[in-house]
Structure 1
């Protein structure tokens, strides 16, 4: 009979500590302060929502989630022609799409320049005696 309230309280305290210790980049959907208020006002439901929706989990190469490790953003090398804004090492979907669009334009321009250079070379060879 006493077990359920103790588990609920432990979940509540664990959620509050987890929210407070997380950086802003490791919190999804709402700001940290709003998550804290949700967990305080709705202890059981708020805690469950926090652990299911609000928290960013790391995944290891084996597909398991690592709960105790802080999120470490890995930087992928970018082509020199793109300058993408970063927030805590992560890009939003819109930023990723914009970066892909810029890369597509860049490579299309490169292909166009190569076609023009090939055409100029052919004309140059046809004009030679």
Structure 2
């Protein structure tokens, strides 16, 4: 029984110290009901009840300020709205790009020493390699 009272006394003192520090360090704009000095006096004079009253009544919430969060592109309505307004594709420009890609693939195959008649998209080679 003595150990229980000792532990409860330590918990009560710890709670009182935490309440005093919290009330002393809290900005004035987040304190409700009474001035800061009055809350500190109540916590010191009425240790357990004063601390409970501080946390229930006097301690204001800091979440009154609006929270700004960053949206990803797939959640941003402005970005999603812009996706529908793309310019139409030019078929002649796409054909030129495809021709340039084929030409580059042919030159790369020649530099690598491969047969230029191989189809680079099929993955097959003209000459079978050693097994």
TM-score range, shorter chain: 0.3 to 0.5
Normalised TM-score (structure 2): 0.45
Q: Which has the larger radius of gyration?
A: 2
Normalised TM-score (structure 1): 0.45
